[in-house]
Amino acid sequence: MAVDTLLRKFLIPEMIYGNGAHQLTGQYAGRFGISNALVVSDPGVVEVGWTGRIMENLALAGITAVPFTEITPNPKDHEVMAGVERYHTAGCDGIVAVGGGSPMDCAKGIGIVCSNGGHILDYEGVDQVPMAMPPLICIPSTAGSAADVSQFAIITDTADRRKVAIISKSVVPDLALIDPLLTTTMPAELTACTGMDALVHAIEAYVSNASSSFTDLHALHAIRLVTRHLAEAIEKPASLEARNGMMLASTQAGMAFSNASLGAVHAMAHSLGGLIDSPHGECNAQLLEHVIAYNYGSAAERYQEVSHAMGIDCPAGQDSCTALTAGIRTLRMSIGITSTIAAPGIHYEQIPLLAEKAMLDACMVTNPRRPTQKDIEKIYAAAF
């Protein structure tokens, strides 16, 4: 592997990792000077009890907890703005997010607007957030999004039916309390989708044109961990070994993509998910093999390393690209992601619109091969 001699920046938040980390919420919120915390979560996390436990932990530290749980999958712009209103009305001075990518991204959006004013969609793009957010603690309950360690916030523009990417060091949380115990309540479908999200994060970071020696280490190890632990996490949801493996994979993939960015899979998944409000990890899984087939010639050596990390052998008479895409297809089918993007609510005639929006996504910039809109349309068609 060539020595990386370019100047690189690597940014991650303070992290505490391990079983029981969530119990430190009140202690650290106090250290950040928070006395009145907006607790951002969603109905599913409330139902399994994690939101309540975090609020109790804050109360034990003498910190008022103001719940904001009106959040749907793929957080919407109006949900962010409702959270801003709740934050100001309740006189909050910090934010605690507990849940998957949706609550954490929504919490980031709330923090952005609370410090900078305006509307959340004003901050789309790279380095468009000038002022730091209020103190933000993220406690992930899924193993996939890695919003707890990343510079990304993804918010749905409901008027235009698309997802916008906000990428800035200003949205990196102050603290991530990463506790594999919280993932033991995830249902199988969510485990599968978020696990594939982690895998795509790692693969796209590894082949990104902004990758570095720092991100490569985390990306490759994340790929190995997902391959080793995802099926077991689905089959044995109480397995702490499997849940820890997947949470570590999510964290390492997050550190990789937050600093190397992503590629066409995510750009296309954002466009698709914004149009039909479908699960982000599922969109990624449906598109991954088709984007790899398009990209392969521009990053063949890197994709071969991905194959090696996944334990995929190239049979005699089969090219290495086909072996990798077949291996990924086998993995996603084995964990129950069997559908194509031809889901209810999307029609073949919408492919040009999907491609147009995907081309505008910030993640497309770091794809290893620079596509045209026609190229993206062909990839969508192949995945249909």
How sure is the predictor about 278, in pLDDT bands with cuts at 50, 70 and 90? confident
> What is the CA angle 136-142-145, rounded to 5?
70
Q: For position 69, what pLDDT does the model report?
A: 97
- Judge contact between 242 and 233, C-beta under 8 A: yes
CA distances from residue 135 to 122, 146, 317 in whole angstroms, order as listed: 21, 18, 56
In terms of domains, do 155 and 246 share one?
no
- Clarify whether residues 281 and 379 are in a common domain: yes
Same domain, 158 and 115: yes
Q: Give the pLDDT of residue 313.
A: 86
pLDDT above 90 (res 4): no
Q: How far apart are CA 227 and CA 257, in angstroms?
A: 18
What pLDDT was estimated at residue 9?
Answer: 84
Average pLDDT of the segment spanning 28-45: 97
Residue 198 and residue 303 in one domain: yes
Query: Cα–Cα distance between 333 and 364 in angstroms, integer?
Result: 26
Interval 241-248 mean pLDDT: 98
The stretch 270-293 carries a mean pLDDT of 94
CATH number, residue 104:
3.40.50.1970
Residues of the chain with pLDDT > 90, as a percent, come to 93
In angstroms, the CA 5 to CA 366 distance is 19
Sign (positive/negative) of CA torsion 117, 118, 120, 126?
A: negative
Q: Indicate whether 213 and 332 sit together in one domain.
A: yes
Q: Nearest Cα to 140, choosing from 262, 50, 269, 232?
A: 50
Overall average pLDDT of the 233-238 stretch:
96
Q: Which of 349, 345, 376 is nearest to 363 (CA)?
A: 376
Name the average pLDDT for the chain.
Answer: 95
CATH number for the domain that contains residue 210: 1.20.1090.10
Element (H, E) at 38: strand 36-40
Structural domain that includes position 145: 14-183
Q: Is 143 in the same domain as 261? A: no
Closest CA to 29 of 181, 173, 182, 179: 173
Summarize the confidence of residues 4-27 as an average pLDDT: 91
Do residues 173 and 211 share a domain? no
Which of 151, 183, 215 finishes a domain? 183
In this structure, are 58 and 76 located in the same domain? yes
* 3 belongs to a structural domain: no
pLDDT grade for 344, boundaries at 50, 70 and 90 = low
- 261 shares its domain with 213: yes
- Please indicate, yes or no, if residue 240 is contained in any of the structural domains: yes
Number of folded domains that form the chain: 2
Per-residue confidence (pLDDT) for residue 317, from 0 to 100: 61
pTM for the model stands at 0.95
Distance CA 262, CA 256 (A): 9
* Same-domain check for residues 148 and 203: no
Cβ within 8 Å of residue 13, ≥6 positions away: 138, 148, 149, 172, 173, 174, 175, 176
Co-location of 92 and 174 in the same domain: yes
Residues 101 and 213 in one domain: no
Please report whether residue 7 resides in a domain: no
Q: Helices (DSSP H) in the chain: which residue ranges?
A: 25-31, 43-48, 50-60, 77-89, 101-116, 188-207, 213-235, 240-260, 264-276, 280-295, 300-310, 320-334, 351-359, 373-383
For residues 199-219, give the mean pLDDT.
97
